[in-house]
Structure 1
Amino acid sequence: MLAYAGTRLLGLVVLAVWGAFADKSPHQLLAARWDALWYTRIAEEGYGYALRLPDGAVHSDLAFFPLLPALERVISAIAPLTAADAGLLVSWVTSLLAAWGIFAIGDLLHGRRVGLTLAALWGVLPVGIVQSMAYSESLFTALAAWGVYAALTRRWLWAGLLAALAGLTRPVGAAVVAAVWVAAAVELLPGGRWRRAGGMDRGLLAGVVLAPLGWLGYVTWVAFRTGSVTGYFDVQNGWGNGFDGGLAFARFIGGLLTGPPFVDGLGLLLGVGALIWLYARCVRQRQPLPLLAYGGAVLVLALTAKGYFGSKPRLLLPAFPLLLPAAVALARLRPGRAALVLGSAGLVSALYGAFWLHGSGPP
């Protein structure tokens, strides 16, 4: 956690220095722009706000899942903090919990050194600055990491509860549900612990039932709120989001490859190829099936989503299992060399994060 906190502190220091020269407030960049404004409005006023654009599109706050704004509302009510500052507090605390959960998984599978390297790698991702923003990525990743860890260690009630909470945080909470269900399925297969014991594990059944309730509960509530069974998906379409199997993303890359920004398209294509290669490495590494199910689901949902293509790196932040092969390789290096690699990556991440937030930033 200290190693991870060091990477995030470096990112915040570089952002503050950059902001001093650019005459911009780091606090505003972290807590009062883009999606953070929507979460704050929900925390302060509840659901019901919609922005109608000149082209007829409707951006409704129902697109945002409720756990983060609910926490902002509660914390701002009991502490001398605004809802925006409460969002920052939630993000900073849960980013540490996420790093701890990621470490726990790496430690469980390959030992403490790999766990430490895996947590540090998550912190030095190019868009790692989002982990320090009043966004839901850190909260979700903390719930997801510990949910997957609970599934791997057969703590079924915890796995189901954490999956349900993850499903109240982001749409990709379905990936945590997949991990819990796959872990349960492994138990039920011939040779699984449950089958060998010859009895019924009520905790496993409870975890399986609990896992999807958060995601299903919110989607069902939106359906009643909008008067349509497909209400949540209609809201997403209003934002230009949704899932089309990656057709829109493929057309976007194709447009870049056939136009003047050819290099951008080629770089994006190589990036997608690298992600697929990393997942193949995870399979060859024989990661546990629940971890593969979770990482694969996050990857597929991010790559097949339409709209806001610039947000895909942010959507991939919770896909920490993809970093495990690199963590194993780095852990084999001498400590000094590994520290040099991670430190250099941390500095690049901090510089890019400051540049990103002072420019287009996360949509």
Structure 2
Amino acid sequence: MNTSVSAGPGTSRATGTNIPLTTAVVAAVVTVATGAVQFIVMAVWGARGALSLREVLMQWDAHWMTMISEYGYSGFVMSPDQTDPVQWESVAFFPGYPVLVRVVAAPMAVLDVADATYVAALVVSAVATVVLAWGVSMLAVELWRRRGSNPGAGGPSDRRTVVVLSTAVTVLAVGAPMGIVYWMPYSESLFTAVTVWALYFLLRRRFLPAGVLTMVAGATRVTATALILTLCVAAIVELWRWWRNRRTAQKQPVGAFPAAAVSAPVIGSLGIAAYLAWADSKVADIGGYFAAQERGWHSGVDLGAATLRWLAGNFPGELTGYTISSWSMILVALLCAVSVWMLWSGRILWQVWLPAIILAGIVLGSDGIMHSRPRLLLVPVLLLALPLVVELVRMWRTATRSQTTVMAGVALGAGAVLWCVLGFWVSGEMLIVFEYAI
């Protein structure tokens, strides 16, 4: 009698490992543990500078996010010397994150929770960070499957490998330099979470969920343009496949028209298009949304001229924050260059590579607050470094000698610790020591 059990779509055939559940649990545990250590470091470090943990987390754009969530895009002031309600400066911030915070804060306000908007913002950021880590873990499993000798196996074949892989890529994400921003009232956690899940669904050729998540990303940040363009390329690829099969097929049936793939970029563009149309109408007197960006935040595409000028004048900088910002731009540019070889050799999939390169190009090719670059480049670093971490875990998993396996495991663990130490130090320097906006 055959007693074997058929594995489900998210289950490894070798051991019955439930990959989505395992990655979710590991991602949540590692994220919460890493975040707790980050909070302790920030609290102790901030106390030395007479700053509470709340003051450390509620800096710069966090004020804008919470004020927009509480009052909308006008009717509040950001400084005592400001007399007119803010409108044109505030429209630079997309509504996805503030609206979600308002939804979570509403029942708290009814229950008279103190500082409800701030508490709700921390809840939204924390949940989004856990979802982000889970998405990164699932994306890593998919990359593992694509690079494996048996693409149909569904992922790593044993629970230990899944745990190590999820742990490694979660540490890569949440322990990164400026990773503390994921926990702050910033939109980074929400945007990164929907980005990695959109790419996961894209790799699985589930185009409609990818399009819906891209729409959410477009309501959260203007850089969702990178995802929309990636969906456009995916639609072209699917149309080419359909057309080629139709041309070459004789008596064999031709697959259906790829309507989902073609619809995905259209759906994905709705969020950003709707907000830009609304913002343009509100600040039409100064030239629309992009004019407000330029006027209020000196942000505009200049093909990297401002970045090069800033590096020439501030590297190495007198302040540590200048040096960190400069190195972040230089190292990401080098990582982008190396990634071309990774793409050519098949070590990174174009669906992951393309949005990372576009995002890095948008950030490095624009003017604006240069000290914000370490956090704005988090997503390109994550996407381009993710395949490298997957390969390191694969090397550990395929080591043939027990001594080699132990050494590889120690190297992975040491690398994770050093990565977190670097990440915590950069976060502290930029939030507590450095005096300018991040």
- Paired amino acid for 1:321: L
Deviation, structure 1 residue 351:
3.0
Among 176, 183, 192, the alignment partner of 1:132 is 183
Mapped partners of 2:201, 2:138: distance in 1:
10
Q: Indicate conservation of the 8 Å contact 1:95/1:142, yes or no.
A: yes
Question: Cα 1:285–1:85, aligned 2, differ >3 Å: closer, same or farther?
Answer: farther
Q: Single out whichever of 232-241 and 290-299 deviates more from structure 2.
A: 290-299
Alignment partner, residue 306 of structure 2: 248
Is structure 2 residue 150 aligned with structure 1 residue 89? no
State the SS of the aligned residue for 2:192: helix
CA-atom RMSD, angstroms?
2.9
Structure having the higher Rg: 2
Deviation, structure 1 residue 345:
1.7
**Uncovered stretches (5+) of structure 2, i.e. residues with no partner:** 1-26, 145-155, 157-161, 397-407
Identity over the aligned pairs, expressed in percent? 30
Q: Indicate conservation of the 8 Å contact 1:127/1:349, yes or no.
A: yes
Q: Indicate conservation of the 8 Å contact 1:91/1:131, yes or no.
A: yes
Alignment partner, residue 337 of structure 1: 411
Mapped partners of 1:279, 1:338: distance in 2:
21
Deviation, structure 1 residue 99:
0.9
Q: Indicate conservation of the 8 Å contact 2:198/2:209, yes or no.
A: yes
Mapped partners of 2:410, 2:306: distance in 1:
44
Among 97, 109, 121, the alignment partner of 2:143 is 109
State the SS of the aligned residue for 2:433: coil
Question: Cα 1:154–1:129, aligned 2, differ >3 Å: closer, same or farther?
Answer: same
Mapped partners of 2:180, 2:191: distance in 1:
15
Is structure 2 residue 70 aligned with structure 1 residue 74? no
Question: Cα 1:230–1:290, aligned 2, differ >3 Å: closer, same or farther?
Answer: farther
- Paired amino acid for 2:132: A
1:141-177 deviation per Cα after TM superposition (whole angstroms, max 9, x unaligned): 0011111111111212211110000000011111121
Q: Indicate conservation of the 8 Å contact 1:178/1:290, yes or no.
A: no
Mapped partners of 1:245, 1:12: distance in 2:
37
1:10-65 deviation per Cα after TM superposition (whole angstroms, max 9, x unaligned): 211111222233321112211x22101111111111112577999xxx96100000
Question: Cα 1:135–1:267, aligned 2, differ >3 Å: closer, same or farther?
Answer: closer
- 1:249-288 equivalences in 2 (<5 Å): 249-256=307-314, 264=323, 267=327, 270-286=330-346, 287-288=348-349
Q: Indicate conservation of the 8 Å contact 1:182/1:289, yes or no.
A: no
Mapped partners of 1:171, 1:289: distance in 2:
22
Alignment partner, residue 189 of structure 1: 240
Q: Indicate conservation of the 8 Å contact 1:144/1:166, yes or no.
A: yes
- Paired amino acid for 1:129: I
Is structure 2 residue 268 aligned with structure 1 residue 198? no
Deviation, structure 1 residue 272:
4.6
Is structure 2 residue 370 aligned with structure 1 residue 313? no
Question: Cα 1:140–1:267, aligned 2, differ >3 Å: closer, same or farther?
Answer: closer
1:234-287 deviation per Cα after TM superposition (whole angstroms, max 9, x unaligned): 0110111121111111111122369989x9598567425423334324423432
Alignment partner, residue 63 of structure 1: 92
1:46-93 deviation per Cα after TM superposition (whole angstroms, max 9, x unaligned): 112577999xxx961000000111011111111236112211111111
Question: Cα 1:252–1:114, aligned 2, differ >3 Å: closer, same or farther?
Answer: same
- Paired amino acid for 2:336: I
State the SS of the aligned residue for 1:200: coil
Alignment partner, residue 3 of structure 2: none
Alignment partner, residue 36 of structure 1: 62
Alignment partner, residue 433 of structure 2: 359
* Equivalent residues, number: 358
Question: Cα 1:192–1:153, aligned 2, differ >3 Å: closer, same or farther?
Answer: farther
Question: Cα 1:188–1:224, aligned 2, differ >3 Å: closer, same or farther?
Answer: same
Question: Cα 1:19–1:288, aligned 2, differ >3 Å: closer, same or farther?
Answer: same
Question: Cα 1:90–1:297, aligned 2, differ >3 Å: closer, same or farther?
Answer: same
Among 186, 191, 197, the alignment partner of 1:146 is 197
Question: Cα 1:156–1:329, aligned 2, differ >3 Å: closer, same or farther?
Answer: closer
- Paired amino acid for 2:418: S
